[in-house]
Amino acid sequence: MSDYPKAPFVGENLVWYPHGDVNQAPHAATVTARMSDECITVYTLSPTGRREPMLNIRHINHPYYVEHKIPLKRWGAWDVIGAHEERVKGMERISAEKKSRSLMEAEKNIPVTVETMTNPDEDEMRVIKISRELGESPGRAQSVADRIGAGMTHQRVNAILRKYPHFLTGDIPEEVVEVN
């Protein structure tokens, strides 16, 4: 059995893909002639309301289009109603599954230890101490970067502050490295 449906009969509605591109939203169409179980003629209804005949088109998955791209680009292809929505949902589901798999893989490969989250090194501690002194002032990250110098950027300061937000308020534990 083929992976495309038998052509609908005259008067039935279907969707038509301009240029055979399934990534673009399909147009409504009505079958006006049926040449065979594979080939039909339709009148398409574009979003502008213009009706156009598309002659001798085949289903979007028809093997004829593998070798014959010009008729596909020129006349487009048809599909059953609802197939576009199912295709979009399927692509969204596949995308969500890939994202989930990649997140799980990242969690396996990215080591996060509690020790690094509670024990900043000397440079990070310097950023934290200066940030505590400045408080919640606007442009704090840039001010810290300017005070430290030596190529420190506000992006790096912000990254450190996001990594150690728990050190910005309250007491700093004794076991944390102290920098003068």
* DSSP-assigned beta bridge partners for residue 16: 27, 78
The pTM assigned to this predicted structure is 0.52
Burial of 80 (0-12, 13-18, 19+ CB in 10 A): middle
d(CA 130, CA 113): 25
For the sheet containing 27-34, what is the strand order?
51-57, 40-45, 27-34, 13-17, 77-79
| 31-84 confidence digits (pLDDT tens) | 999 998 889 999 998 778 788 899 989 999 899 888 988 988 989 999 998 888
Torsion of CA 135, 141, 144, 145, to 10 degrees: 180
Sorted by where each begins, the domain ranges of the chain are 13-84, 114-167
| 80-113 confidence digits (pLDDT tens) | 988 888 988 999 999 999 988 888 887 777 665 5
